Structure 1
Amino acid sequence: MRIGPHELPNRLFVAPMAGVTDRPFRQLCKRLGAGHAVSEMVTSRADLRDSLKTSRRLNHDGESAPIAVQIAGTDAEMMAEAARYNIARGAQIIDINMGCPAKKVCNKWAGSALMQDETLALDIVAAVVEASAPHGVPVTLKMRTGWCQQAKNALTIARGAEARGVALVTVHGRTREQGYSGQAEYETIAAVKAALSIPVCANGDIDSPEKARDVLAATGADAIMIGRAAQGRPWIFQEIAHFLATGEHAAPPATLQVREWLLEHLEDHYGLYGELAGVRTARKHIGWAVHALPGGEDFRRRMNRIETTAEQSRAVHDFLGELAGAHPLWPEAAPFPAEPVDALAA
């Protein structure tokens, strides 16, 4: 599996989710079997680059290659400049956001709102590709099937993007109108794959090894992208890779192994966010991990009252240590969480 000059270890991608796929989480997913991870979306507005939130999103210290940064915006030249800016700071792949359904983004005509204006959408693609090409940086595009059921134009935009030099297209099998509701459909993704010669990645509702196998078969896609199902279960990439290779399910990880992964993730997380923001932003990751466990809801409520990183880390250590006594292997998976935080913010 390749994106431009970059050879990836497999075809299992982590979806870019604002408020979720920061550098520590991307690193964790890659460590646990993901072949590729795209950053949280970064605004193309130059006046917001110095904000603390954006500076954290632009932090790639120690991140394994290839570093893929997703940019969002509505102006072709601003998006081109954003591509150049991020490439200068380490981006090795630029991803264009044309898939975010959040009102905060779409009200500014960014994200999936761009699919309503095919000319503007493709002008942005052309400008970003032109800005990135001199640096040898490939451009990818993530989009939805269309703005609404009556206006599914993913195939048109995908063809136009390929003609303008995009290296890979990812399609989430929902319209913007659907948000994260209902069921993803894969017929549109299959049509896009059949029409293009560049790689196509399928996204939407992939939450198990069997679903990964079925979506690959139904779409003919070159890769699959997993978002919500990785929240609290980042080893899902290992599970899927094992199943696709052998046809058999991998054994659940040991509970103490999961504890080690989570504690290492927390230390990386605290290093990026600091004490105050670190303890607060880590709560969602811990909550996703424990929400289906015996005693998990009570622990999550207690966790929300903890105000220091040391106490938070110690509480996770002790809770999962006690759990391991009764459940040496990680308990059966529960349905993946509700829709992620997905909004463009400085």
Structure 2
Amino acid sequence: MTESSEYVVVGAGLAGAATAWQLASRGHDVTLLERTVPASHDGSSHGSARIFRYAYPDEFYTKAVIESKALWDELDRASGLELISPFGAVDYGTARQPEQLARVLAAAGVEHELLSATDARSRWPQFSFDTSVLWHPGAGVIDAESAVHAMVAQAVQHDARLRTGWDVTGVTQTGGGYRLTSATGQEITAANVVISAGGWLPRLLRQLPLPAGFLAGLPEITVRQEQAYHFRYREQQPWPTFIHKSADIQTYGLPGGRDAGFAGQKVAEFNGGNSIPSAARQTGIVDPANRGRVVDYVRKYLPGLEPDPYAETTCLFTNTPNEDFLLDRAEGITILSPCSGHGAKFAPLIGQWAADLATGTGSVPSRFRQAGTRVSGR
């Protein structure tokens, strides 16, 4: 017998799990489909280390982080976990514009300091700062994998159903909604579908019964196989997260947590990986040229780290051209791809926005609805 559900959410990463949690907590009938298992290791939401930060040059995102933090706190209370560990953050580099970030944080009422490079090096001698430095102590590290499982657990507690090993290969329109088919021949019907497939979205989009005008209005979506490296601490001392944008490279780093055996800092070049057609084409192989660039960076800018990585990994970034999120809807299908390398911190808020959009009970920021706004004329 074919299973049926009011809402089917495809993809149990951070965004999909958050959406299922929000929909189920509002009393809706929800089924969450996952290709393998929640927070799958070949997806974008695995592991223990994602940056949580307030510093953005665009005040819209800083205000959204504040909203999201309230929902993270709610999830902590419900789950009994502490999903964001406080480490603080430093932002620096000519292209990072720490003075502009300080102005945005001041306007939003977020605690921060703007330090000279000399003063910052006195406080954090493990860094070789090359410009003034923004410090904001409210930043930290999200345990992404634990967060996914916590949100899935909350959804299930509100009677949502989780189906694992459910690889969606087709979606067809029916008289009452949609029929989803799996690679193993399973079927489920739904009145509404939410697609939160991350790096698998480009491939899945071609299989969705969406209006041609809507599809044409979507921003270009690109998938990158990113690489990250773990470098051992020379001394055990407090390490903040960091974002550094110099003229020649853009990097980020954070304490690696259990992913790195709590022994080192995770460092990566932002959007330094190769573009791939979809997540299905990832290889998991680290690019030696990228490794070399990051090692050279560590030697130059991070004297507090041993310059040879003791662990490395690949992950997926799903990007829009301007790094805005994509939350849009046509008929009964909601498209949700928040990544662009900075979506993790917003996961509970994205789930709330997606639930509002899917149910028609609220709206999402217009900057995320390029296709739906164009098609509807609103």
Q: Same fold (TM over 0.5)?
A: no
Write 1 or 2 for the structure with the bigger share of strand.
Answer: 2
Normalization by structure 1: what TM-score?
Answer: 0.29
The structure, 1 or 2, with the larger RCO (C-alpha pairs under 8 Å, 6+ apart) is: 2
Write 1 or 2 for the structure with the bigger share of helix.
Answer: 1
